[in-house]
Amino acid sequence: MKFNRARNKTIGGIFIFIMMVAFVFGRPNFYLEGPGTAEPTSNFVKVDGKTDKKKGNLLLTTVAIRPATPFFLLKAMGDDFETITPKEELMGNESNAEYNQIQQYYMQSATNAAVAAAYSKAGKPYKSEYLGVYIMEVAENSDFKNKLKIGDTVTEVNGYHFNSSEKFINYVKKLDKNDKVTIKYTRDGKNKTAKGGLVKLEGTKRYGVGITLTDNTKVTATPPTKIDAGDIGGPSAGLMFTLQVYSQIANVDLKDGRTIAGTGTIDSDGNVGPIGGIDKKVYAASHQGATIFFAPDDPVTKEIKKYDPNYVNNYNLAKQAAKKLNTKMKIVPVKTLDDAINYLNKTK
């Protein structure tokens, strides 16, 4: 029996490579980010207890995240739409449970902002009650590392109340690096207090508390709207949920029988913000048959370029992804809710 030595060497090399891949990546230290789903927002939104029955779809888009096992890693090799990401880059210091909890807090904040933005645009009554700010992360070097935890709601800092996380951050920015801070917060319905100093914030020259925040609000509206995103987390469905809610409460047909996808955060004023993994969301939307995809056209400032010289904004990343896919789906840049609504009305 003859042996092909060159062929055997090749097979041996592949085997060794696979074993190396299994050793390096076949651990929970790495995750794969790839195209997720593109799902009709009407599945998640009810206005006055009713779902949207108009023809067409408004699709929210997601990114799929899974452990980088050898099987999935080899399957993803050579795929432009799969990304290997270290766990610490994806989740920071959080456990899987904490990471999922954070994504749910982001979603809750996003759905509240979506309702506020949609009702404001439609001229319908709503009430926004500011409860405080959720703690999303506590830095390792923070004085509050073992005092505060993910999910705590900050209600007061040094005796001051704030109606947004942005105002909280701006207040802390003005403090001297040697100042002490007293934080009042709620946990499991109980009021608590924590004290500590400021620390140097990683990657900056500034001092701060060392916590990451998002607004904790409660929005009630007339007619009542309920958004139940289920297991979907994160803030990136904000724009598409806003379009869905607005179309129902204003009784306008934005879809006009079309399949429309997109992504982007939303604030209560209707401003659209950038998100991660937009290339994967373009893929999911295209494969679901969308003909329009809304992409945040976030500004690339000098400050951003200084921090990341290679930064490319969401809109341009989306166009690059569409080109790779050779899709006919139209990539539409948006900065605001009005941009998306005006485009849909103009192209009916």
**Could you list the active site residues?**
236, 281
In this structure, the number of other CB atoms found within 10 A of the CB of residue 327 comes to 18
Encoded tokens for 63: 């990114």
Q: Which amino acid is at 260?
A: I
DSSP state of 205: S
Please name every residue paired with 39 in a beta bridge, in sequence order, or none if there are none: 60
CB within 8 A of 81, min separation 6: which ones? Answer: 34, 35, 279, 280, 283, 321, 324
Q: What is the dihedral of CA 190, 193, 194, 195, to 10 degrees?
A: 180
Task: Evaluate whether 199 touches 143 at the Cβ level (below 8 Å).
Answer: yes
Residue spans of alpha helices (H) in the chain: 5-25, 70-76, 87-91, 96-122, 165-173, 238-249, 278-287, 302-307, 314-325, 337-346
What is the secondary structure of 93-142 as a DSSP string?
A: T--HHHHHHHHHHHHHHHHHHHHHHHHHHHT--EEEEEEEEEEEEE-TT-
- In sign, the C-alpha dihedral spanning 153, 158, 159, 165 is negative
Q: How many CA atoms lie within 13 A of 204 on its CB side?
A: 9
Burial class (CB in 10 A: 0-12, 13-18, 19+), 253: middle
Task: Evaluate whether 244 touches 41 at the Cβ level (below 8 Å).
Answer: yes
In 3D space, the residue among 39, 79, 35 whose CA is nearest the CA of residue 281 turns out to be: 35
